[in-house]
Structure 1
């Protein structure tokens, strides 16, 4: 488990929750990874009560689960669950764009700086940073448009999308996501809301199609390995 140790002062339950979400977004914590309560208490310097409060909140967001045998662990999204996350993102992200026909120059510049960071991560094969930036871009859009509530919603949804990507996304899919982000910024800069909506919808359709294809391919490979 790779979670950056907090500052010497005791962490709150919200800090624990935020750090785990960011570790998931960056790909430093993988689907299926187990959390030991004792280990988390030592990392954050807090009681089991605070750790459990944080994990319960993460469970309510669909990022972790708990069983008597395994304890707390990061979810491994199924294909149907992944589709539900994509549908939720479609509703939130298209609604956000519908409400903002014009985007100011400062917001566009901030989005372009984020895009450059994505491109650098892709070029450098920095998989953890790539995962974080590709997912965080959608949170960043809400941030630069001034809607912190939607940013929080999207942070939760994109954290789950990163778990999906860890299981199903290829390098080609990641490149396509970055290309889609560039096209979306250009549409927003032109004030072309219809194009921005189309790009957003197509981006999520592509994500859903890639998910379906990769899941089918993974199933075929497992069957071939079992029967060959």
Structure 2
């Protein structure tokens, strides 16, 4: 990679990170158009840098790029949703198995600190609650020490957030926080069977809430949405 290419790639990260966060937090809903010119103006970057970010998100399944039609937030089908949740069950079962074989002290400390953050925003900041709920599962995977497993979980949790944005009924995050606490307790005991069972039930609960809501209104002012994700120097 040349020096100029490296600079361009590095500059595109804020655009990628902001778009990804806006999608995961369900600010940008499935199907919303992502015009390169408008996004470029919001972040003060070229359309080329915006396109690089969109291509990366397309590879992760969060954005759909169609020839002559541009990019939009991906709209997973119900069949894809079930398949993704099945794969997530497999991945998070492996996470539970590995964590329960490890020294619990540092793991539990990190998980309880994250749970405290979830509890702090419960009922106060729905957007942040959504993000923290997904990050709990990503943290679990990271604590296994396997970068490969963490990468897979990171991607599939992000795609589940997109699925929920399209299909899920509105619900309280309180049950999720309580279930996270139960999962932590099982890991603290090194009880892999119970941890796997609790995780399975937790994910099934999330999946069961993924019901189609076609009347959902989409906020399509992409520039206004993304301006909230732009850094202070952006």
Q: TM-score, normalised by structure 2?
A: 0.78
C-alpha distance in 2 between matches for 1:36 and 1:121: 32
Aligned residues: 208
C-alpha distance in 1 between matches for 2:69 and 2:136: 33
Contact 1:31-1:166 within 8 A present in 2 as well: yes
Task: Give 1:91 deviation, angstroms.
Answer: 1.5
CA gap of 1:150–1:112, structure 2 versus 1, over 3 A, is: same
1:209 aligns with 2:208: yes
Q: Could you list the runs of 5+ residues in structure 1 that have no partner in the other structure?
A: 1-8, 223-228
1:98 aligns with 2:89: no
Equivalence for 2:28: 29
Equivalence for 1:165: 164
C-alpha distance in 2 between matches for 1:171 and 1:102: 36
Contact 1:25-1:162 within 8 A present in 2 as well: yes
C-alpha distance in 2 between matches for 1:31 and 1:55: 14
SS of equivalent residue, structure 2 residue 204: helix
Contact 2:95-2:140 within 8 A present in 1 as well: no
Runs of 4+ with >6 A deviation: none
**Cα offsets for 1:93-128 (capped at 9, x unmatched):** 11122223234312211111111211222232x111
Contact 2:36-2:50 within 8 A present in 1 as well: yes
Higher relative contact order structure (alpha carbons within 8 Å, sequence separation ≥ 6): 2
**Cα offsets for 1:169-191 (capped at 9, x unmatched):** 34546332222211101100111
CA gap of 1:85–1:173, structure 2 versus 1, over 3 A, is: farther
Equivalence for 2:226: none
C-alpha distance in 1 between matches for 2:54 and 2:117: 31
1:108 aligns with 2:108: yes
Equivalence for 1:79: 78
